[in-house]
Amino acid sequence: MLRVWTIFWLALALAMAPVQPALAQDDPGVMSVTGVGRVEAVPDIAIVTLGVEERGTSARDATGQMSRAARAILDRISTAGIDEADVATQGLSLYPLYDRNSSSNAQVLTGFSASTTLVVTVRDLDGLGDLLDGFARRDEGGV
């Protein structure tokens, strides 16, 4: 019986011993820092992303229409006094458009879609609303 109690107390002592995490190592070359920061400021720029997508019967037609629409946006941006360095093209895509033939269920090429994205940094926030309104009113002389 004494042997059982000895094993019991030994097991209990080992179970109650402080366990050091496996990842906590004494390495003088490692420093760990945790922090939280918060900054509040009045916005002074706006980043505007504008997309242009045009469709045409050929790749040339679609890209031509897309280029003209993008040029109209760039002209409006220039007229608004935005520096050319604050405008960037983010991407250009061209892909075919298909439809299904109802009788054969085969795919039929119907045209192409061309798109691009422009990213504009607007520094004059007072004129931002008018600029965005001009882009949104495409049917009223906008782009």
User: Which residue has tokens 């119907």?
Assistant: 110
Beta strands at 87-100 and 46-56: parallel, antiparallel or unpaired: unpaired
Structure token digits, residue 1: 């019986």
Mean pLDDT of the region 91-103: 90
Q: Is the pLDDT of residue 113 over 70?
A: yes
pLDDT tens-place string over residues 14-31:
555 555 454 555 666 666
Residue 130 has what pLDDT? 87
Summarize pLDDT for 45-57 with one digit per residue, the tens: 999 999 999 999 9
What pLDDT does residue 138 have? 61
pLDDT above 70 coverage of the chain, percent: 74
